[in-house]
Structure 1
């Protein structure tokens, strides 16, 4: 079957782009031919410029729809502008679908996020006109975003009701967690299939090799130092302050670590306990300054190293760049204190890397991930705002418990290994490409029944 995977952008490092790559690979392994349809030039097969996520127009439409109607004289003029562009996208999409004999469309977030109305309207019209089969892959819904909660115009509210998502029997709804499934049913009366984010558990394991053997040295980490990896981007909801406090508490109890560690290395009074932060800084607030203050107070050394990291390894005139996977190789423990995630890609990476993890049990972790039986060091399920800030804190005893359990694991090779092997096996069973293949097969065959 010829399948069109569509989104505003492709080939980037955002969660939607990454999942699209995984779906593409699995669908191609199943024997299908896949076409990317997006507003990204020079990546994928079908380029429709009007779909671009990065255009000024994309931002303009969103701002006028949700913040203030300021670039148009009236609601009617705004609506006409959206519909005019929808017609243009519709024509281009029909041409692309026909030229490439596309039989199944998989729009990503196009029928759920409540932005780029002209793209959504065009897709809905083309689907109805051509009678296409559709899997709407809904990663994020407009009702989950505070910024998309107050439409400025009556017709925007009507669009949200009609198109996000459309009630069409040809469209199978897919969501990424149980919370979204319940909300979609409650708000729109639509049933959906939960397809979790997945990871390739069958690829070669990440190990020290010729390329990354100099990484510790480059980062100023000695072979016997203990490394905590915070692999996420740097933004408020990742609650990185909690991870820093755990590492600070471990450091205060460092004497308990002296001697042989879980992997045979010797930790001595000269050894350092460090935090590695390779993630992109994506915050407009003073969050980084706040994290530096917490680190100073906790006496935690943080290595910020995004500048030596790329999506893939590189070694050229511009210098040597490591991948995120190389960062996992030098880590002893993974910190994952996010208070909110749609799923949890870094959690999947930690499973595959066979590292023990310190996790705050955010809502989707509780509903979708924890019931699978993973063993992690828990930071609990409750947080409050720190006095005078928008940042979070958890009870001090939770920090202390997590630090004690971390030390125990770092000293016990049998228990460290038992946990990571168990977690890897669960991930392979439920969250791998194999499990995605099974789910996609079921959804595609349901069009026939």
Structure 2
């Protein structure tokens, strides 16, 4: 079969683009021909419908007027007309693409999930009706999960969300990435979806120290005998990085430092050694949140480093200085924090497991429903929190203390460190590898008859 994977953008570092690359690889292993369709192609070759561009100026205007403030149109009818006119352009190009490229299966990614592309959602629905081919709607998150889409400026926008996001048509099957989304979709729309979790290439080569990255620690002024605690995610409020700061602060407790004299890797942790909290991700929070993090770190005496200017998706030289990949940061970390209170899945969790690093985890809702029962051994921060008057996440202090104790035990015990990280790796390989994705996709009714062995 010929399959088209569609999104607003491809070939970039956003989670949807990355998952599409994985699906393409697995479908090709099955023997299918796969192409991309998008509004922009980034570093990946794609068929382009420019009206699908994630930041198309017309769509930007529609989004702002549909959800924030109806200010660029004289009335609701004018906004509706622009949405439908723009949708018609996308629909015609989409139908031409399906016919000219002889597409058998179209897989829209998040186009029917969020309310970002109202014209696109309508266009794809009409194309599904008119083309008659099979569609698989791959939903990463939904509009009802986002505050942005909860109060439309016009009643007809709400009607569009209910009818088209997602549509319930006979030739469309639906895939979600977690069981919470599956249950909510059935409750709201009467649609029965299949759960296909995000995956990682656990069959790939291990990340290692090499000639390029061997000076990573030096480049961010972290000593060889220091403990590097990594927060690999973007810096946003829901990542609850303040909890990571508390854990690092607890690790610096004198009792734990006595236990940390000899580390798992044979290095000595002396009075001159430090525990450094390294934040590798792009800041995407409010300035106030960043200030709160810095203030909290200062109050707890935590050495915090914001190193995103030295980290990118891949290695390169810029202004005669090295830029490292995120994988390089994992290589030289000793411990990884993942204190997010809300995730659609948890890609950085899988990355840390692949890197064979112990992981501090807050048990966010999807973790509890989809991941906890697999048998991983993580350092838990529990699953209960409150929000203080600064907007920061707080948990019981006992949880922070126990996490600090468990972390110090793992960091000072070579066998425990290796046993737990190796066991986590094998579990993830079983459930969240490319081989597992092959099984998940092979089980979808429209693909299992045509599948070929890996």
Under a length normalisation based on structure 1, what TM-score does the superposition of the two structures give? 0.97
Q: Offset at 1:68?
A: 2.2
SS in 2 for 1:315: strand
Q: Offset at 1:255?
A: 3.0
Matched, 1:22 2:17: no
Which of 276, 279, 298 is the equivalent residue of 1:277?
279
Cα shift readout 1:139-182 (whole Å, capped 9, x = no counterpart)? 11111011111122222122112111111121110001000000
Q: Which residue of 2 aligns with 1:65?
A: 66
Runs of 5+ consecutive residues of structure 1 not aligned to the other structure? none
Which of 317, 333, 336 is the equivalent residue of 2:335?
333
Q: Which residue of 1 aligns with 2:428?
A: 427
Q: Distance in 2 between matches of 1:317 and 1:248?
A: 35
Q: Which residue of 2 aligns with 1:177?
A: 178
Q: Which residue of 1 aligns with 2:358?
A: 356
Matched, 1:10 2:10: yes
Q: Which residue of 1 aligns with 2:99?
A: 98
Q: Distance in 1 between matches of 2:126 and 2:7?
A: 16
Q: Which residue of 1 aligns with 2:384?
A: 382
1:285-296 equivalence runs, <5 A: 285-296=287-298
Q: Which residue of 1 aligns with 2:222?
A: 221
Matched, 1:191 2:192: yes
Cα shift readout 1:193-213 (whole Å, capped 9, x = no counterpart)? 001010000000111111111
Matched, 1:33 2:36: no
Equivalent residues of 1:37, 1:44 under 8 A apart: no
Q: Which residue of 1 aligns with 2:240?
A: 239
Q: Offset at 1:448?
A: 6.6
Q: Distance in 1 between matches of 2:257 and 2:147?
A: 46
Q: Offset at 1:71?
A: 1.4
Q: Which residue of 1 aligns with 2:120?
A: 119
Give the total of aligned pairs: 448
Q: Distance in 1 between matches of 2:64 and 2:199?
A: 33
Q: Offset at 1:376?
A: 0.5
1:139-218 equivalence runs, <5 A: 139-218=140-219
SS in 2 for 1:93: helix
SS in 2 for 1:120: helix
Equivalent residues of 1:234, 1:282 under 8 A apart: yes
Equivalent residues of 2:252, 2:275 under 8 A apart: yes
Q: Distance in 2 between matches of 1:5 and 1:162?
A: 22
Q: Offset at 1:126?
A: 1.3
SS in 2 for 1:259: coil
Q: Which residue of 1 aligns with 2:252?
A: 251
Q: Offset at 1:343?
A: 0.4
Q: Offset at 1:85?
A: 0.9
Runs of 5+ consecutive residues of structure 2 not aligned to the other structure? none
Q: Offset at 1:29?
A: 2.2
Under a length normalisation based on structure 2, what TM-score does the superposition of the two structures give? 0.96
